Each structure stands twice: as C-alpha cells, then as structure tokens.
Structure 1
Amino acid sequence: MGTWDIGPFDNDTAADFSYRVDKAPAEKKADVLLAAFGKVTGTGGDYLDSDLAAEAIASAALVAAQCPGGDPVTTAYGPKDPLPELPAGLRPTAVAALDRVLTEPSELLELWEEAHVEEWKTGVRRLRAVLAEA
C-alpha cells in the first residue's frame, strides 16, 4: 500500500475507494460505505487486511464529515462528488468498524505501530469520537 501521510485518504487504497464511491449512484453511496464497514466488522477475531481497514477508515471519515464536529473531506484523494445526506444508522456501524481496525489482529494497526506513529491512532480515535457523539 502506498501511504504518504496519516489522514483517512492519504493512501492508495482509500483514493481508489473514493473513485468507487464516486461511481456509485447517489442512492447507493451509503451502501458502498456500509459494505466497507461490514467487511471489517465481519472478520470477527480473524486477521484484518490493511486494505479493508483503510477503506473502513475512509468510509468513517465520510460519515463523520456530516456529523457535528466532523471535519469536511477536502483532500483531492477523497470523492469528487458531494455525498447525499447519509443515514444516521451508519454511525454506530462506523464506530464498530473503527474499533475493529484498532484491535489486534489488524494489519494496518501493526504497520502503524511498527512505524511508531501514534498520531495515526489519535486520528482514528478522533473519527470514532465524532461518530459516537453524534
């Protein structure tokens, strides 16, 4: 995975995911995000692939952007088209997905821990807090 910074869209996987979100019809965009969450939460205690985790984090950032206190997604690597109002029901699913990303065994968590980048975990926890409080 090509990664250039710690943000939700600062990697090749999330940038590619943004393209898939843009290609989905407006009425299906929430389904694309929900599917990304489901792939992560559906792993249970099995090893979580970093690509699935990166897509879930990008999805969570898109949901959090519509929450009070959420940061807008302004990066060139995020979706180009504005998202419709997303169902509030995505928020608890996003929280569960982020919890799974931050729980072993998680390849993305391991990669960031090997790099000693606590800021990445702080950013994911901030997304989680925005979603949980909304």
Structure 2
Amino acid sequence: MGTWDTGHFDNDTAADFSGAVDDAPEAERAALLRNALTVAIEADYLDSDEGAPAVAAAALIAAQCPGGEPVTTAYGPDKPLPTLPAELRPLAVKALDAVLGENSELRELWDDAGDKEWAPGIARLREVLVAACAG
C-alpha cells in the first residue's frame, strides 16, 4: 500500500476508492459506501486493501454528521455526495472498530511503524459517528 501520510485518504487504496465514488452514479454512491463498510465488518482478518476504503467511507459519512470535518483533501471525491442515510452511521462505527481491532492489517502496519497519529485520527472519526448515532 502506498501511503504518504496519516489522513483518511492518504494512501493509494483510499484515493482509488474516492475515484470509484466519483465514477458511480449519484444514486449508487451510498451503496458503494455501505459495501466498503460491510466488507470490513464481515472480514475475519481485515486486509489493508479492505480497511482503507472502510476508513474513507466512514470519513465521508462523518463529514455529514454534526461535528464532522469536511473532506477537503485532494485525494477525496471531487463530486459532492448526496445526503447519506443515517443508518450508515452505526455501520461506519462497526467498520472502524474492525479497522482498530486485533485482526486488522492497517492497525498492525501503523503499530509496527510506531505512528502516534493514525489511531487517534480514527478514534476521533469514530467519536463523531457515535455521537451522531446517539443524537
């Protein structure tokens, strides 16, 4: 995986996912995000190529939540997303739990690198989503 920073879109896989979101018809974008989340949730071992799109999808969902940060990186989708269904929020939380879990290659890679920014960034994203689920 080509990674250049700790942001949610700062790797080749997430950037490619953003391109797929842009390429999808607007009516199919929510389903594309749901699929990325579901793949992460259902994986016995979460490969980084499955985890990175889940993180990107969660970031796009969180951006529409109260307190969520807009996705402004050049590696995120260029086209605006429609209003996403609220039922994606708890799925995004579960997917992020999988990404941070013991069976996640992404977590292993960042832990091995000794990084101190990636996991807290995922945790902040998760906090926004949890708050939006409760609200």
TM category, shorter: over 0.9
Q: What residue identity is the alignment partner of 1:127?
A: L
Q: What residue identity is the alignment partner of 2:70?
A: P
Where does residue 54 of structure 2 map in the other structure? 56
Q: Do residues 38 (structure 1) and 38 (structure 2) align?
A: yes
Deviation per residue, 1:52-105 (Å, 9 max, x gap): 100000000000000011010001100000000000110000000000111111
TM-score (norm 1): 0.97
Q: 1:118 is paired with a residue of what secondary structure?
A: coil
Give the Cα–Cα distance (whole angstroms) in 2 for the partners of residues 9 and 100 of structure 1: 18
How does 1:5-84 map onto structure 2 within 5 Å? 5-43=5-43, 46-84=44-82
Unmatched runs of 5 consecutive residues or more in structure 2: none
When the two chains are superposed, the root-mean-square deviation of aligned CA atoms in Å is: 0.6
1:87 aligned to which of 81, 85, 93: 85
Q: What residue identity is the alignment partner of 1:60?
A: A
TM-score (norm 2): 0.96
Q: What residue identity is the alignment partner of 1:54?
A: A
Where does residue 124 of structure 2 map in the other structure? 126
Give the Cα–Cα distance (whole angstroms) in 2 for the partners of residues 71 and 54 of structure 1: 18
Identity %: 63
Give the Cα–Cα distance (whole angstroms) in 2 for the partners of residues 35 and 132 of structure 1: 20
Deviation per residue, 1:4-41 (Å, 9 max, x gap): 00000000000000010001111110000000001010
Where does residue 105 of structure 1 map in the other structure? 103
Q: What residue identity is the alignment partner of 2:68?
A: G
Q: CA deviation at 1:118?
A: 2.2
Segments of 4+ moved more than 6 angstroms: none
Unmatched runs of 5 consecutive residues or more in structure 1: none
Q: What residue identity is the alignment partner of 1:40?
A: A
